[in-house]
Amino acid sequence: MDDFLIRALLGGMGIALISGPLGAFVSWRRMAFFGDTLAHGALLGIALGYLAGITADAGMILIGLAIAAILVALQRGKNHASDTLLAIVSHWALALGLVALSLTNGYGPGLRTILFGDILSASWGDVAWIAGCGAGVAIALLFLWRPLLAAAVDEELARVEGVPVAWVSFAFMALLAVVVALAMKMVGILLVTALLIIPAAAVRPLAATPEGMAAMSAVAGSLSVAGGLWGSFRFDTPAGPSIVVAALVLFALGAVVPAFLRR
């Protein structure tokens, strides 16, 4: 196997291992649209990062945090449904990102890479960055697990029982911003949410506990990466979309297999 495939596999699996458990929370808390908003914000982050002379990763994470803060603040107003707010912030970030990108005068990776990712060009440095950030997010998630789960069951009940729900939610959004920034390079901003949501949804019928679902989701995500890269190599298809197609195959299996076993 070629070196670049090994790097892509390791990087992709590193992301899948952490995006799986986070994706489970995204589905429990009905935050799929929020994932999209963060992904759109990533485009703005890349462009602003370039213009400000900082790295794309730093730009994406900073914009992700800003979006999380804006949404938390706006939701307190309660004058708009939260999906309306998300749509406004999401498309505002996308439009502003495209405008800012045009100001960079042909910035290196180009729009196509940003939209669809470029997992096959991952360097060993990228893999190490993913491993480091992924481990950090995983440790933070372990500490947040209990209050986050309580808030996912019911925010008000959690608040009455003493969980600092607002802080926990913001911390979760911050972790999500980091993971979106990592995953964006692999599958691109259009498909980031798929990597969060589909593995978690695929294993839902098989899971009996929240922890089980999170763990299985990490495995399903890794299998999607491996299957997608194999398909990409075998059929010469783009890697990012192939990974999402592989995840969809797992989702279909997850829906069919339990029904088959029950007979």
Partner 1 sequence: MPELRRGEGLGVPVGNNVDILIAASGLEVVRGGRLILTVGEANVHAGEVVTLIGPNGAGKTTLVRAMLGLLHPGRGRIDRRPGLRIGYMPQRLSLDRAMPLTVERFLAMAVPGRGGGLNIGAVLEEVGAERVRKQPFQDLSGGELQRVLLARALLRGPDLLVLDEPAQGVDFTGQADLYRLIGDIRDRRGCGVLLVSHDLHLVMAATDRVICLNTHVCCAGHPEIVTRDPAYLALFGRQAAGAFAVYHHDHDHGHHPDGTVAPWPPGRGGCEPEPITKGPPSHSGHPGDG
Q: Least distance in Å: CB of 197 to partner 1?
A: 10
Among 12, 117, 134, 147, binds partner 1 (CB under 8 A): 147
Residue type (1 letter), 166? A
Q: Least distance in Å: CB of 131 to partner 1?
A: 29
Q: What is the number of residues in the chain?
A: 263
Cβ neighbours, 10 Å, residue 49: 23
Of 150 and 177, CB closest to partner 1: 150
Of 65 and 158, CB closest to partner 1: 158
Q: Can residue 156 be called a binding residue for partner 1 (CB under 8 A)? A: yes
Of 152 and 194, CB closest to partner 1: 152
| Alpha carbons 10 and 16: distance in angstroms, whole number | 10
Interface mask toward partner 1 for 20-59; x: CB under 8 A: -------xxxx-----------------------------
| Alpha carbons 61 and 54: distance in angstroms, whole number | 11
| Coil/strand/helix, residue 81 | coil
Among 155, 174, 219, 238, binds partner 1 (CB under 8 A): 155
Cβ neighbours, 10 Å, residue 120: 19
Question: Could you give the angle at which helices 124-153 and 165-187 cross, rounded to 10 degrees?
Answer: 150
CA-atom Rg of the chain in angstroms: 18
Stretch near partner 1 under the rule CB under 8 A, chosen from 99-107, 152-160, 166-174, 241-249: 152-160
Judge contact between 220 and 20, C-beta under 8 A.
yes
Among 81, 157, 255, 256, binds partner 1 (CB under 8 A): 157
Binding site for partner 1 (CB under 8 A): 27-30, 146-147, 149-150, 152-157, 159-161, 163, 200-201, 204, 207-210, 212-213
